[in-house]
Amino acid sequence: MLVLYNFDEIIDRCNTGSFKWHYTDETIPLWVADMDFKAAQPILAAIEQVTQHGILGYTVPTEPLYQAIIDWHGSRYDLWLDQQDILFSPGVVPSLVLMMKVFTEVGDAVLINDPIYTPFMTKVLDNDRKLVTSALQEVEGRYHLDLVDIEAKIIEHKVKLYLFCNPHNPGGRVWTADELEALLFICKKHDVAIVSDEIHQDLTLSGHTFTPFLTLAKDYEHKVVNLTSMTKTFNIAGIKGSMIFAKDSGLLSKINQQQRLSDEHELNLFAYTAMRSAYEQGDEWLAQALTYIEANIDLTLQFLEEHLPKIKVMRPEASYLIWLDCSAYAQDDQMLYDKLRAAKVELSAGIKYGGEGHLKMRLNVACPKALLIEGLNRMQTALNSDVFNIVDSI
């Protein structure tokens, strides 16, 4: 039966412990990658069924869960996994740390791009690895990999591991198979392991094709790992849970051994339940959510063109996050962020994603249209005015 979801519904999230809605005033949050949409009905029903059953004991992944994961990735992305290729992890960020332990030692160099989702930087540094960055090149409003720089940095720093993000956060690029092949060629040549964070895979927008890194790895499978999750796709990040995919048995057992050192190989009952129902029955919700998100992206681009024409916008190829170059409206990162906060709208400060994020902001449009329009109006007020109030720092 077709369920028509109402993404226009505004649901009060204040005082629920929401990380996104942390305010005591009327601020509109257009920052962290969390959507203001109710989750898919089959996921909510599956969780309800568990609570109705009333037994919340120790749980292990079941055959139907594995099958749901296999079918989703095979049918959508031609990534055909066997059950033994799939491991579970509490989150993609914990898996990034795990992979550093699998592929590197303290002091080894780890390569990332700039800009990049913040934990790529912080976790490398927190785990006493050497952080090496390669800036993405912006050409006609799209980021590109600088392959010459990447290879030079790999050689110079003896890089052991490349933490890669596909689709890219915050730039929204869905890297093409050709781009991935070129990267793979360089990594193979220098024996660099690749861990590809693909958490935004299912949010690929129309006109673009997502390619899982693992589908290209062939004779390099002992050095390639995909990380992904249902949490971003289905807006259930509060449940926590993710997957690790690899196709080499030696590598898989190494990862598994590392996980078992801290007993981090299991998810909880609600995560397994949500994951299975999402992959079995969530496609209808996802299709409708993506249609709504694309309309919000169009609306935002049109609004910015009319009212804040000096913002340079990077149209996302995946996700609901729009990368904005606001350099025409500010000279200072903190002032830019504060100016928007003073107008009661919060975006993510670009500088948090690396030096390339200087004077940029990341805008999340996955919310009811009415909230988005109000947020955009506040952005217009903030950036077109000279009034400036000091508020909380970033």
Under the rule (CB under 6 A), what is the footprint of ligand PLP? Answer: 33, 91-93, 117, 165, 169, 197, 199, 229, 231, 237, 242
Instruction: Identify the three-state secondary structure at position 31.
Output: coil
Could you identify the residue written with the tokens 């800036």?
A: 135
CB of 230 to ligand PLP, least distance (A): 10
Choice between 27 and 229, CB closer to ligand PLP: 229
Choice between 59 and 118, CB closer to ligand PLP: 118
Please tell me the chain's helix, strand, coil percentages from 3-state DSSP, rounded to the nearest 5: 45, 15, 40
CB of 249 to ligand PLP, least distance (A): 25
Choice between 143 and 329, CB closer to ligand PLP: 143
Choice between 33 and 293, CB closer to ligand PLP: 33
Choice between 343 and 347, CB closer to ligand PLP: 347
CB of 93 to ligand PLP, least distance (A): 3
CB of 335 to ligand PLP, least distance (A): 25
d(CA 246, CA 268): 22
Distance, C-alpha 98 to centroid of its chain: 18
Choice between 242 and 296, CB closer to ligand PLP: 242
CB of 390 to ligand PLP, least distance (A): 28
Nearest to 170 by CA among 194, 206, 143: 143
CB of 118 to ligand PLP, least distance (A): 9
Both tokens of residue 281? 């029955």
d(CA 32, CA 339): 18
CB of 338 to ligand PLP, least distance (A): 23
CB of 117 to ligand PLP, least distance (A): 4
Distance, C-alpha 100 to centroid of its chain: 19
d(CA 323, CA 306): 17
Choice between 123 and 341, CB closer to ligand PLP: 123
Contact 378, 345 (CB under 8 A): yes
Distances 226 to 72, 163, 216, 218 between C-alpha atoms, Å? 15, 10, 11, 14
263: burial class by Cβ within 10 Å (0-12, 13-18, 19+)?
exposed
Nearest to 347 by CA among 361, 360, 359: 361
Instruction: Identify the three-state secondary structure at position 304.
Output: helix
Choice between 117 and 337, CB closer to ligand PLP: 117
CB of 256 to ligand PLP, least distance (A): 19
Choice between 159 and 165, CB closer to ligand PLP: 165
Residue at shortest CB range from ligand PLP: 91
Both tokens of residue 260? 């078992």
Distance, C-alpha 312 to centroid of its chain: 22
Please report how the helices 177-189 and 147-157 are oriented relative to each other, as an axis angle in degrees rounded to 10: 20
Both tokens of residue 328? 């025409």
